[in-house]
Amino acid sequence: MSRKQARIERKNLKKLKQDQKSVRLRTLPDAEEPRVGSYPKRGKSVRLGADPGSIFHMPMTWSCEAPDCEGAWSWGVPRQWTEATWRNDIRPKLEQWAQLRWSEIDSMSSDTGHKMHHLMKVDQICDEAQLRLMEIEQEGEEIFRFRLGNLQRLWGFRVVADFEVLWYDPTHQIYPVG
């Protein structure tokens, strides 16, 4: 097979995979239908008429009331973190960030200049995580990601200034790179 044919075949496979993904994601509920039990939960609501940038002047708060800890990912990592991981890795970082305003968190960058903590479009995370969000009826368009270390990530939703913990990803597989 020539290089040109191989390139065309790779391009066609990529398009086929994207089309299959699109078909799965088209099964989302109609926006006109009310969604029972969907995000946001616990009586929280979006602030109407507020300046969206205003959260950057607010202190970061967090909650871990309803993380998704059932089962395991296909790559072999359980969704439930250990008590030691919570005590040594997750909770100390959340407490550290809770001392900051969202503008300070947003301005943190790595040595290479990439934002350490940021919103991501749900369609950018791995297919399995997208499907899991649909299964647990958390179907927002964006999800927030905190960087805990080299590979470790903490995923959740930001509701105004409150970060709601959803997943701990110790192996950087929810949004794989490289």
Is 53 inside a domain boundary? no
Q: Is the pLDDT confidence value at 42 over 60? A: no
Pairing between β-strand 61-63 and β-strand 162-169 as defined by DSSP bridges? parallel
Q: How confident is the model at residue 132 (pLDDT cuts 50, 70, 90)?
A: very high
Q: Sheet harboring 162-169: ordered strands across?
A: 61-63, 162-169, 153-159, 142-147, 118-121
Say how far apart CA 5 and CA 46 lie, in whole Å.
51
Q: Is the pLDDT confidence value at 47 over 70? A: no
Is 28 inside a domain boundary? no
In this structure, the number of other CB atoms found within 10 A of the CB of residue 60 comes to 22
At 157, give phi and psi (nearest 5°). -115, 140
Lowest-confidence segment of 36-45, 82-91, 95-104, 168-177 by average pLDDT? 36-45
- Per-residue pLDDT tens over the stretch 75-96: 999 999 999 999 999 999 999 9
Is 150 inside a domain boundary? yes
b/e per residue 5-26 (b: at least 16 CB within 10 A): eeeeeeeeeeeeeeeeeeeeee
The residue segments making up the domain with residue 170 are: 61-178
Q: Is the pLDDT confidence value at 116 over 80? A: yes
Bridge partners of 145? 118, 155
Q: Is the pLDDT confidence value at 125 over 70? A: yes
Report the number of distinct structural domains present in the chain: 1
Q: What is the pLDDT of residue 112?
A: 87
